Each structure stands twice: as structure tokens, then as C-alpha cells.
Chains A and B, each alone.
Chain A
Amino acid sequence: MIIDHPLLGPRDAQEFVYLGDADLINRPDWQAEDAADAFHDYLYLRDNPAGVHRELWYHEQGDRSWLVVTRDTLTHEISKVELARDVARAQGRGR
């Protein structure tokens, strides 16, 4: 597979390490009342669609960017690649 890195252009997927569902960005609030359940769902119940999937890849043999890649799990077609940091910020993550 080839991942079109937003900063570096097309790169062989072999340069990257795969993590999984991009919802791993959305780490729950540790002080919420339902924190135990929320962390369970966050860590263990991830999206696993047969189709379009947003997922985290890390450019380990490259610039060390974490990326959010939108990829179809049936065809492997990649429709979007974003810097995970931008996605995290857009989803309201800060400090």
C-alpha cells in the first residue's frame, strides 16, 4: 500500500506502524463519573467496519507523524490522509 503523507507525499506503507481506530484520539475524561465504563469502551470496543475506516498510522521510519488515514477495509482504497494532530485539535483535544 502507498500512503500519501500530507507533508511528505506518497510513501510505502511499510514505513509506517499501524495502531487502529482513529477514535483512540478521543481519550475519555478520567474524572467523569462513568470513567471506568468510558475507558473500557474507548480501549476495547473499537470501530471495525467492513468499509470506510478512519485509522491511525505512525510514520516511524519517516518524520514520526501520527496520521489519520481514511481507508476502505474491503478495497484498501485510501480516500484521505490527515495529520492526527490536526484531527485531534479539531475534535477539541488540547492540553
Chain B
Amino acid sequence: MKQVNRLSGGLVDRDQVLGFTFDGKRYEGHGGDTLASALLANGVRLMGRSFKYHRPRGVMTAGSEEPDALVELRSGGRQEPNTRATVAELFDGMQARSQNRWPSLRHDMMAVNDRLSNFLTAGFYYKTFMWPKAFWEKLYEPTIRHAAGLGRVSGEDDPDVYDKGFLHCDLLIIGAGPAGLSAALTAGRAGARVILADEDFAFGGRLNAEMFEVGGEAGSDWAKAAVAELASMGNVRLMARTTVVGAFDHGVYGAVERVADHVAAPVEGQPRQVFWRITSKRALLCAGATERPIAFANNDRPGIMMASAVRSFANRWAVAAHETVAVFTNNDDGHRTAADLIAKGVRVTAVIDTRADAPAVEGAELFAGAQVIDSRGRLGLESVRIRTAQGFTRDIVCGALAVSGGWNPNVHLTCHQRGRPQWDETLAAFVPGPDLPVGMLVAGAASGVLSTEGALRTGAEGAVAVLADLGIAATAAVPQAEDAPVDLTPFWHVSESKGRAWIDMQNDVTVKDIKLAHQENFVSVEHLKRYTTLGMATDQGKTSNMGGLAVMAELTGKSIPETGTTMFRPPYTPVSFGALAGRAVGKHFHPVRETPSHNWATERGAVFVEVGDWLRAQWFPQPGETHWRQSVDREVLATRRSVGVCDVTTLGKIDVQGADAAEFLNKVYANAFAKLPVGKVRYGLMLREDGIAYDDGTAARFAEDHFVVTTTTANAVLVYRQMEFARQCLWPDLDVQLISTTEAWAQYAVAGPNSRKLLEKIVDPRFDISNEAFPFMACGEVTICGGLRARLFRISFSGELAYEIAVPTRYGDAMIRALMDEGEAFDVVPYGTEALGVMRIEKGHAAGNELNGTTTALNLGMGRMVSKKKDCIGNTLSERAGLNMADALKLVGVKPVDATQAVKAGGHLMAKEGPVDAAHDQGYVTSAAYSPILESSIGLALLKNGAARLGEVMRIANPLEGDDVEVEIVSAHFVDPDGEKLRV
């Protein structure tokens, strides 16, 4: 196992030898390697296959923009598809596999697509596969889906944890190349709170990849010293392996820190990645630039790479892309690659420069004014064919071709708030436009300043400028460095190429595809992208958009900026789901709210049900009960026979106080509250302003200026919000104050004929709760159990003689235990939400299924409650004709004619005889339950003109499940319709 292409020097740690496998074969690399550099060091050029034609591909870049060298890393739940080999830090034991090929990377059957490429041009699928009609879904599409896609997801749960974090700073510096480091030093020395983030694991950017000196020392050494100084500052936070992925409103940035991707697995307790939300006062974008290719025939073979990448591999990673390298360039930058390689002893077989006046090269043959017109080599580059300035054709032997078409500033984050980049003629590239995100400035190569000294200078000056905005004085100190001007002649693609010339490597979009798009009038950038899939690959067009735009500009005869700009959207590089979800996974997806009796209910074996974020006891199974219905029926019967207790803490509670409290309630409730006496409770119906029933509950008057309001569990937050709106925005001068006390009180319903007897054992004797002293709908403050303050309400949801008793939350657990203990004498049962539901249906009380946001008071049989004598939210619009039709839905009861049949909520009511279709729909069942009292299934329903149809036999159509049940329309009040039980 020899690293055949490993050079001397570089920034890898040769003392660290790391073993890894690629497609099962073992190799070795060094600390500081990426998977890509290690594979190249071992002479491996073939790393992947393209998306559509399954063309053999190698590595094209040395950074996160990599479109070709995508691999699957790790296995099982940690299997990670589409990982760029260029950013995968090598660790000992790394397992990487190529993807999107079968059966192997070298012999990929799907490469047959390449032979058929002339049939598979841009958008061909829009024109065919239409006949026979059924074949699309049965044959064509499954075949396409099977062939498409890139890497595989294992389907197993990801075992790693992820975190989210929040950071604040004066200045966020995005990118730690020369500009970013210079800015950070300037701002850090001035005492500003600075965050410096870079996607790389090593700070320095291109300083680590070039041989330039900074201030008389090696660029990488200068970077190392700068980092050391920054690390010593308490006001500077250095964040390596952290990609700032999006610029959001008001200085908020999203960033992903890859905490443990460079090791086989996180250590216990360590997150794999952290998603940071960074709130910055100012941001300085120092994201550098991305080199762009030149398209020519067969420019996609393994070994054809960006010139800067070839240089990075040689200088930073001490890896020659191949023993023999040629260079193809339209600018001076390509020559640097040749010079650096030659200095390291790599054989450079030719420098092909499109410029007729190309500068001379020492140590390699120069072809000025020449072009690469084709390449050879099935699984790896063997040679390129060039056309010289004189028009001769020549083949140049090379295993790697370093291509430079110039540089595109990384303007991405400047566009995240819809800013448009602008064209720079000198660079022949887009640079940041004038409408940057508020608070952002750009420096260095990202701003179009490509020299090292320019980056150092604009970084420092940028920091000085933004800090001045914040009132922090800073001074720029810029070391001397390379300051070469850009010398470039735009050159996008070799038009004389006969074969296919790739623009978008991963998605296999060629110059011909763009020509076809033009021919078919897909000329706007948006049409071009969508029709050809240009720029839609995992690199989001970082290496392809400009080329595509340039070819289209040439075809339309317009300039590039007239042809269009490319827009960039977050994220800058793809972000894992895990990081964006953080800890909100599994049971932690939402917070859990537990009532004070939760532990007690758990001890009693309760089955819990999710009600919003609450967990409520649904029923309490007893030994021997094998079906939930047995438990529920028992709880209902025991309650109706003697006494039962239900935790109703989750109901919303709002304390309303002030001289105008009654007037306020008059405005927010449809019914009147002004005259409610102290010591009494009233049912309240709340409407939305559009006249639809919103919520119901009770309001208990404890004093002239003090009410306690309850809401449904589901609407507790919404009702409180709405009441605050009424108080602050609609009637701001009413003397009324509100506070939510939902979590301050534990509350229990005590229901059943023996409920008073039970409560008499709890409530301190000095409070008379006899029927006379404390009648139906009474309320009062009492003490219980020898002095504990409590609130007692004589209200009933079950239809029984019933109370609700509230104690401060911390006594909730003691309260339920006391009720159970004292209730033993009456065979008390705890009952859950299911029995609660059964009893309210038996009683005909509307609940969430009836208050579904489309029903009015009229529909619910409470039309008369809406007071017409006062202003209240919703009363005006409740009078609209459409809400008061003669055949409006009315709440009724339904009972099967055959008691062995079951009513199901969600069935639709139809005439007994007649068609079953939408045109004959008469209404629907809202709630259903088995009533153990009536020994029958029963339901509540909303039926057209229902109040006038009692006694009618109808059918409930449930074609969804194939049911059809005959029912009798009855009063919604199945038990105790006159409410006699309530008053005894």
C-alpha cells in the first residue's frame, strides 16, 4: 500500500497513518487528509458516476463545491449518502463507498445511458412516455425512479444526537481566509465581540493552498500565527468546521458546526453536529471565490480538475493529481498551478493558454492561443487533444488536466435576501450588488478582490468600517503580500469541440443541451435551469451556472448580465436534517405537559392520551379488564351510580379582575355577564368576530370585580390571546386585568349522586355546601382538609350532581389522593377523558368535535344565547344570511334503530330511502360513543333543519368503511333532559 502520488511538504501529518477503505479496498492516508486527497495520493482517480449518463468521474475540486466525487460514508443508521470526498476528513477506519452504480464503480451497467445519450437530451422525457397512457406509472416512471437518485439512505434511525445553539456577536466573519483572518485580527484587537467561522477544519483558506508569502513568512505560517493570536482573545470565538449556510432577516445567520464528522462516531454525549442561530450586529462576508471550468469535448474524465484544486492538493495535501499534468487556462492563475507543480517535481506536459499573449512558462511547454478540444481515457484521463494557435492538432499525454476559467466570487449569502449580484467586466464574473442584506459587508475574493494583499487589506478595512458603525474604533494593519492584478480573457467553452462538452457535471448538462433549450425557446435563465436541470445538482450550480449562462448569452447574442443573473438561496451547502431538528426528535418532538396528578395516575395504571402537549389519563384499567371499553363503561356506570373523579386541570383558566371585569366579559362572551351575582357561575359561549362559535366555558364570579373564566383545553392559549387583544386593542380604557392561571390550579371534577357526600368529607365543616346553601351553578372560595384554600364550583359536564374543586397546583397530588381515600366509602372511581366524553355525549354537551370552527350558536342549539342587546365580539356578523338559513344544521342526537349497530363519528346523514351522494347529504355525525346507561351506541350530529326532524329515521352512510346504519333522530340530551339530577 503505497501512496504513489504523495509529494513532500504540505500540511499533512505524516506521523499519523490512517487506514481507510473505498469500495472495500484498503488504503492509507495521513492526518489532515480528506478522503479525496488520500484517494489521489493512492493513485485513485475514479471516484463516482454522474447522475444521468453514469459517466466515470473523479474529483474536480478540493472544496465543498465538489459535484463529482460523492460517496456514501459509514453504514447502518450512520450511513450518509452524497458526501463530498473533498470535505470528508479522513479518520482511521473510514469506510467509503461509491454510489449510483451497479454492480461496481468500474463496471456500471447503467452506463448504457451514455451510449443512448443522443436520445436522452435535455427535456426528452417531456416529449415521450405518453402512450399508452397507463405505461407511465406502470413502466416508464418506475424504471426512471429506479435509475435516478444518488446515494442511499439505510432506512434505520440515525443514532447520533444533534444540538442547536444561539450566539450573539458584534461582528460575524464568514470565512477565515486572508480576508477573514485580517478582519478578525482587526476587530479582535479592537475589543469587539467577534465570531470567525469557516467551513474548513483548518483556518487560512487559500493561504494553506498557495506558496505565497505574507509579511515575509509562508502564508500558512502567517495564518497559524493569526489563529494563535485570535485564540488568545476572550472576545473572539473561533468556529472551524462551521459553515454559515444562510443569511436571514435582521442580522440572523444560520450555521452548521460539524462537531464529530471527522471521527468514526461521536463520543458519548457529544453531538454529531450543532446548528447555530447567530444574531449579529454586523457581518463581514469573506467567503472567497470558486474557480470555474472551461467546457470542451469530454471534459469530464477522471483527472480533469480545477487548476486551483490541483494546486491545493499539491501544496496543502502534498499530493500530485497524477504523475503527469497538463494545464488549460485563460488567465494567469493557471500558470501558478504549473509553476507550483514543477517546483514540486511533478511533470507538467503542457500549459495550454487560450490567450495569444500568454506569459512564458518555465519548465513546461506553452501553447499560447491554443485550446483543448477533446480528451481520451475511459476510467481516467490519458491524454488531451489540443488545437494550437496555428490550427494544428496535437495530443498531449497527461493523467490530470488542471483547468482554470477564472474565478467567481462566492456572492451566495449576499443574495439570500433577494439581492442581485452585478457584473464585473475585469473579472468576467458577478460580484456582490448594491442591495446586500442589512448589516453585511463583503471583503476579499468574495467582493471581487482576488489578490492576497487585497484580501488582507479589504478584510481589515471592512472590519474597521463596520465597527465604526457600532462606535468601536479599530485600526487596520495589513502585512505585505502578493498583489498581482487579474489578467484574464473570458473563455467559456471550446466551440470547435465535436463531442459533448459538460457544463453541469453531476446532472450531465452539456453545451448541446443548452443549445437545444435555446432552440426550443427556453432562453430565460429560469427556463434554462428548469428545462435542462442546469445548476440543480448537489453543488447548486457553483461550478456550472456561469458556464451555462455564458453559453446562453452567446446563443442569444446578448451580454451575460443581459441574459440573466443566477440567484442563490439558502443553504450555501446542504444541511443535514439532524442538525436542523436538533434535540426535537422522538419523544422530545414537543414538550410534555403533565398535570399534578400525573404520578398518581401512573401509579393507578392509567392509560394516557395526548391532548395537545398535555398527557391526560384516558382510562384506568382494573385487573381483569382486557378491553378499553370495559374500563370506560365501568367508570361511567360507577360515576353515574355513586361518584367519580376526573382531573380537569388542563382546562384553561383565566383570572379576570378589575372594576370593569363584568363589562369586559360582556364584550368577549356572546351571552350576558353583567348581572351575574357574586357566588354564581354561568356557562359562556365565545364567538369569533365572524360570528362562528369559538370556545365555551364558564365564568365564575367571586367578587364584583373578580371572575374566574375557564376555557377548553384546546383553546386555552387562543382564548387568552383573544381576550388580551380585546383588552389592549379594542377597549384599552376598561379597568380590567387578565392573567392565565391554567398552571396555578389543579382542578378535579367530582361527579355523581354521592359527590356532595364525598366533598363534605373534604371541605372544611364551616362551609355549608348543602343543596340550599350551595345550589347548582354556585361557586365560592372554601378551605379543605383543615385550612387549605380551594375554589369550589357546582357545575356539571357529566349531567350528574357534580362539582369542580380547584387547589393550588402543588396540592394537586395530595388532593386527588385525599379524594380517593375519602371516597372509598362510596366506591369512588377515577375516570379518564374517555368516560368524560361518553357522559358529555349522553348529556348532549357540545365539545371540540362540535365546536369545529364552522358552527354557529344557532347550529349548536344556543342561538338564543347570543344577546342582541349588547355589543359583543361576533354578534354583528353572526346575523349574515348565510349563517341563518332556514335549513341550517342543528345539533341532534342519533341512536341506531338496531341497538347492536354502532354509530361512528364522521358518517354522513342521508334520507332513509334515496340516493347516497353529496347532493343528498343532510349532515354528519360529530361525536359517537357507547352509552352503558342506554346500552346502545349513540351519537351527536349536525343535521339540516335537525330540530324539526326528531323522530325521523335516517341512515348514516359511511362508504369509507362500508357501513350503513339506520338511526333515529332524537334529542341531543340522552340522559336527564330536564336537568333534574343537577339540582338535587
Contacts and interface: CB of A to CB of B under 8 A. Distances in A.
The short answer to whether A and B are in direct contact, CB under 8 Å, is yes
B876 A30 contact: yes
A77 to B, nearest CB: 7
A69 interface: no
Contact of B729 (A30, A56, A64, A75): A56
Contact of B728 (A65, A75, A95): A65
A9 interface: no
Interface in A1-57: 1-2, 12, 17, 19, 24-25, 27-28, 30-31, 35-36, 39-40, 43, 56
13 contacts: A1-B249, A1-B250, A19-B725, A25-B730, A30-B876, A43-B689, A60-B721, A76-B250, A83-B728, A84-B729, A85-B729, A88-B728, A94-B733
A58 B731 contact: no
Contacts of A80: none
Interface in B649-672: 660, 663
A95 B717 contact: no
B139 to A, nearest CB: 47
B733 A95 contact: yes
A36 B729 contact: no
A84 B721 CA distance: 14
B705 interface: no
A83 B689 CA distance: 22
Interface of B: 248-252, 279, 417, 438, 660, 663, 689-690, 717, 721, 724-725, 728-734, 871, 875-877, 879-880
Nearest to A30: B871
Nearest to A66: B728
Contacts of B252: 1-2
A3 B731 CA distance: 25
Given A78-B250, A93-B732, 13 more contacts: A1-B252, A2-B250, A28-B876, A31-B871, A36-B879, A43-B690, A58-B721, A75-B417, A83-B728, A84-B728, A88-B729, A88-B730, A94-B733
A66 B877 contact: no
The 8 residue pairs across chains A and B that have the minimum distance between CB atoms: A94-B733, A2-B250, A30-B871, A85-B728, A1-B249, A66-B728, A39-B876, A88-B732
A64 B390 CA distance: 79
A93 B730 contact: yes
A12 B724 CA distance: 21
A28 B875 CA distance: 12
Nearest to A2: B250
A65 B663 CA distance: 21
Contacts of B721: 17, 58, 60
- Most B C-beta atoms less than 10 A away, residue of A39, A56, A85, A89: A39
A95 B734 contact: yes
A89 B727 CA distance: 12
A20 to B, nearest CB: 11
The DSSP consensus for interface residues of chain B is: mixed
Contacts of B729: 24-25, 56, 66, 84-85, 88, 93
A85 B663 CA distance: 18
Contacts of B248: 1
Contact of A40 (B731, B875, B877): B877
A27 B730 contact: yes
Contacts of A31: 871
A43 B692 CA distance: 13
A48 to B, nearest CB: 18
Contact of B724 (A66, A76, A94): A66
A78 B160 CA distance: 39
Contact of A58 (B725, B732, B875, B877): B725
A95 B871 CA distance: 12
Contact of A35 (B725, B728, B731, B876): B876
Contacts of A25: 729-730
Contacts of B660: 95
Nearest to A24: B729
B732 A89 contact: yes
Contacts of B877: 36, 39-40, 43
- Most B C-beta atoms less than 10 A away, residue of A17, A27, A31, A85: A27
Nearest to A29: B871
Contacts of A85: 728-729, 732
A83 B249 CA distance: 22
B697 to A, nearest CB: 19
Nearest to B251: A2
A94 B721 CA distance: 19
A29 B16 CA distance: 81
Contacts of B725: 19, 56, 58, 66
Contacts of B871: 30-31
Nearest to A78: B250
Nearest to B876: A39
A28 B689 CA distance: 11
A79 to B, nearest CB: 12
Contacts of B690: 43
Contacts of A19: 725
A94 B250 contact: no
Contact of B733 (A35, A65, A89): A89
Interface string A56-74: 1010100011100000000
A6 B729 CA distance: 16
B585 to A, nearest CB: 19
Contacts of A76: 249-250, 417
B531 to A, nearest CB: 29
A9 B423 CA distance: 40
A40 B690 CA distance: 9
Given A30-B871, A58-B721, A60-B717, A94 B732 contact: yes
A1 B248 CA distance: 8
Contacts of A40: 877
Nearest to A68: B729
Contacts of B880: 36
Contacts of B732: 85, 88-89, 93-94
Contacts of A65: 728
Contacts of A28: 876
A75 B721 CA distance: 28
Contacts of A66: 724-725, 728-729
A83 B729 CA distance: 9
A64 B724 CA distance: 8
Nearest to A17: B721
Contacts of B733: 89, 93-95
B249 A95 contact: no
Contacts of A84: 728-729
Contacts of A12: 279
- Most A C-beta atoms less than 10 A away, residue of B248, B660, B721, B732: B732
A78 B250 CA distance: 9
